Structure 1
């Protein structure tokens, strides 16, 4: 199966975006994929803000992108765009860091006013980085993601939509899409 890098671009340690991604990661693992999570907020701020391409943590993150067959990029939407933290990482990656990769963009936000941020802000950047296939992205409202750990991290409609998006991404990578039936 495919090797997937799951990138969380939220600056918050209690991020709903990250919670959403880790739920998606679990489904991808059940489908037989190898998933490596990368929380951009854990990278050294001085390396990100100082554009230190040679910092060991940035070099390691770049290698994770190189090794991945597919990349999931998750970000909260602020002011109709993806997070500045995510941008700082994307700016440090090589121009064609996504060449030959299948990419799934995900976004979360407080209102549906930000739903087009994936298509108008994030997708062009991913395309310019050489992604061979960007599957249709998915936006969900913050209110549909549970803030604390519990039995179900997503509202039922959001969970169903995420399953479909995840399965589409998995199929684009050549994976199985019916690894398990939804529970609930």
Structure 2
């Protein structure tokens, strides 16, 4: 069983991005993974913006990355890039803070014009941070995510099937890497 850190880079308390991550977390748990959610918006703004590496919340967030075998990074797309909130956290991680990790980048946005934000904005940063394997990411349109009054999320059928395949590939890559490391250790 691998440990997955599921990171939401959305600044919104009612974020479709965060709800999508929590929805996908359930699929990963059903596949036997331990999933630890992290909503970056819950970290102290002064510590994030002031680059306070010693703040207890930042120290704990960095420890969560260290302990994870895999990381799911979810972000809304703003102005053709991932969120500034996510950027502020990534800037506080060590240079190779994703070293040895399997990473799944996910993004949400209002138009398909933002679909390349994963490959042209987020993927290079994740790669520079030493991710061992960045699986194919996925972009979901906001219109394909419906939030019910109780807060539950429904994903439109086509995107739901595609997301399931993406998450399953991430899970398989994570299992393969975990097995390889166990055999070597």
What TM-score results when the alignment is normalised by the length of structure 2?
Answer: 0.92
Indicate the structure with greater helix content: 2
Q: Is there any run of 5+ residues in structure 2 with no aligned partner, and where?
A: 177-185
Give the secondary-structure state (helix, strand or coil) at the position aligned to 1:78.
Answer: coil
2:41 counterpart residue number? 41
Deviation of 1:150 after TM superposition, in Å, equals 6.4
* 1:9-46 deviation digits (Å, cap 9, x = unpaired): 00000000001100100000000000000000000000
**Structure 1: where are the runs of 5+ without partners?**
176-184
SS of corresponding position for 2:74: strand
User: CA distance change for structure 1 residues 50 and 29 in 2, over 3 Å: closer, same or farther?
Assistant: same
Q: Which residue of 1 aligns with 2:174?
A: 173
Q: Distance in 1 between matches of 2:17 and 2:142?
A: 8
| Offset at residue 146 of structure 1 (A) | 1.1
How far did 1:56 drift?
0.3
Question: How high is the TM-score relative to the length of structure 1?
Answer: 0.93
- Distance (Å, rounded) in 1 between the aligned partners of 2:37 and 2:54: 21
Q: Which runs of structure 1 show a deviation greater than 2 angstroms over 4 or more consecutive aligned residues?
A: 147-152
For 1:120 and 1:97, how far apart are their aligned partners in 2? 20
| SS of residue paired to 2:140 | strand
The answer to whether the 8 A contact 1:19-1:153 is kept is no
State the Cα RMSD in Å: 1.1
Q: Give the 5 Å matches for 1:1-184.
A: 1-148=1-148, 149=150, 153-174=154-175
- CA separation in 1, counterparts of 2:27 and 2:34? 11
Question: Which string of whole-angstrom CA distances, capped at 9 and with x for unpartnered residues, describes residues 93-118 of structure 1?
Answer: 10000000000000000000000000
